[in-house]
Structure 1
Amino acid sequence: MQKYNSIPNIIFDFGGVLMNIDPQKAVDSFQQIGLEDVRLIKSEYQKNGLFDKLEKGISSADQFRFEIRKHISRKVSDEEIDLAWNSMLLDLPFERLELLKQLKKSHRLFLLSNTNIIHWTAYMRKIKETHGVCLSDFFENDYYSHNMGLRKPDPKIYSTVLEMEGLVAGDTLFIDDMIANVEGARSVGMKAHFLDLENGETVLDLFERS
């Protein structure tokens, strides 16, 4: 397997690459609180859908909860909706933080994640409680779709990060577990690696470690 230690700039995806996630858990949890049509969850990730708007910061957390309630017949609290939505967030293995800590000594590291304010709040708290650290400390800068008004794989989100950080595309590696996002990065000239989670690949496999 190719190792990427020689590339000076590395941009990491978050969910799937660093933090383990299981989107099916969110589907199951929404069903448990009364969301009958689970097809809604997949369809709403499409452009201008409910989740798409949330991850672009177009919709607020309150607007998101309001729209979810339209599809649930019983009364549900904000907490129930958030718990269902956040159930897909699993763990961030300590070894991956150690990898970031090591790489930061010799590389410029950045984070680029499609996320939303509800998930962001939950996993920032979870990482602090579990590891006693702030995720942002491992990167020069961390970029989140809900703050940028853009989502991967829109080529503009990659070019924006490159421009803001003064990075040369050909000297920059992007790592993601979704092939569409990898192709988006390649479309602006970046090197990119598709992390094949289904075949057991992890981010730890991509670098030689001391």
Structure 2
Amino acid sequence: MIKNIIFDFGDVFINLDKQIVYREMQRLGGSTQMTPELLELNNLYEVGQISTDQFLEGLSIVYPHASEIEIKEVWNGMLLDFPDERLEFVEAMAKKSEYRLFLLSNTNALHIEHVEQKMGHEKFNRFRNSFEKFYLSHEINLRKPNEDIYRFVLDQNELKAEETFFIDDTKENTDAASNMGIKCWNLLVGQENLLDLNSRL
């Protein structure tokens, strides 16, 4: 029996344009390929091991023709709209109190600041307050799909894996959670909708 639901954020609640970084690389003087350096920079930033200033400094090497403002615009440009129906859906779930609800997102300080500005403080707080715990990778210094992040959430909240359901748009993440006995939904972006969750439980 499912008692707990863990939600990803990007492309589950908020729509993303993950390809913008690749599209803008060449225009801003970088390689058209995701380099190991850029991947490592992103991973370090997502777990809070480097500051925003250090991250932007690293990106200025990746994008030698870009100003700091342009870099921020590209980086935050992947964050699109947050449909009201998804917010209302999770708020309704929280109000029913049928399940314990958690958010678990690989994100960074720049992105979450931009999301709050874009949504507005009141709406962002409505979203955040729908969850018992709101776990962001850069705050807890862990990231998906590493097993320790799932173990952290389970242990911190005394959750049983077999009673927990996890929704994420990245198969690597759901595969890792599934290997630990967590029931998962690898949501297919553009084909499936969070609002169909009840039929999955």
Whether the TM-score (by the shorter chain) exceeds 0.5 is: yes
Q: Please say if residues 151 and 157 of structure 1, whose CA atoms lie closer than 8 Å, have aligned partners that are also in contact.
A: yes
Q: For 1:207, what is the secondary structure of its paired residue?
A: helix
Q: Say whether residues 1:165 and 2:165 are aligned partners.
A: no
Q: CA deviation at 1:35?
A: 3.3
Query: What CA RMSD, in Å, does the superposition of the two structures yield over aligned residues?
Result: 1.9
Which residue does 2:23 correspond to in 1? 28
Distance 1:35 1:7, change over 3 A: farther
Identity %: 38
The one-letter code sitting in structure 1 at the alignment partner of 2:194 is V
Tell me the CA shift for residue 30 of structure 1.
4.4
Which residue of structure 1 lines up, in the alignment, with residue 192 of structure 2?
201
1:41–1:100 CA distance, 2 compared to 1 (3 A) = farther
Q: Retained in 1: the 8 A contact 2:47–2:139?
A: yes
| Counterpart code for 1:84 | V
Residue aligning to 1:136? 128
Q: CA deviation at 1:168?
A: 1.2
Structure 1 residues 179 and 37: CA distance shift in structure 2, 3 A: same
| 1:106-117 aligned within 5 A | 106-117=98-109
Unaligned runs of 5+ in 1: 1-5
1:8 aligned onto 2:3: yes
Task: Provide, for residues 61-82 of structure 1, a one-character-per-residue CA deviation record: whole Å limited to 9, x for no partner.
Answer: 10111111113333613x2211
- The answer as to whether partners of 2:18 and 2:78 remain within 8 angstroms in 1 is yes
Tell me the amino acid that sits aligned with residue 157 of structure 1: I
What secondary structure does 2:120 align onto?
helix
Read off the aligned partner of 2:30 and give its amino acid letter.
E
Distance of 1:176 and 1:62 partners within structure 2: 29
For 2:109 and 2:184, the matched residues in 1 are separated by: 26
Q: CA 1:41/1:12 → structure 2, altered by over 3 Å: closer, same or farther?
A: farther
Kept in 2: contact 1:154–1:184 (CA 8 A)? yes
- Aligned twin of 1:184: 176
Gaps of 5+ in 2: none
TM-score by length of 1: 0.86
- Runs of 4+, deviation exceeding 4 Å: none
The separation in 1 between residues aligned to 2:114 and 2:46, in whole angstroms, is 15
Change in Cα spacing, 1:53 to 1:107, as seen in structure 2 (3 Å) is: same
- With the length of structure 2 as denominator, give the TM-score of the two structures: 0.90
Q: Aligned AA for 2:19? A: Q
User: Aligned equivalents of 2:19 and 2:47: distance in 1?
Assistant: 22
User: Per the alignment, in what secondary structure is the counterpart of residue 129 of structure 2?
Assistant: helix
Give yes or no for contact 1:30–1:84 (8 Å, CA) kept in 2. Answer: no
Matched, 1:127 2:122: no
Aligned to 1:18: 13
Cα distance change, pair 27–75 in 1 and its aligned pair in 2 (3 A): closer
Corresponding residue of 2:85:
95
Question: Could you tell me whether the CA contact under 8 Å between 2:29 and 2:66 is conserved in 1?
Answer: no
**Count of matched residue positions in the alignment of Structure 1 and Structure 2:** 196
Letter of the 2:64 partner, please give it: S
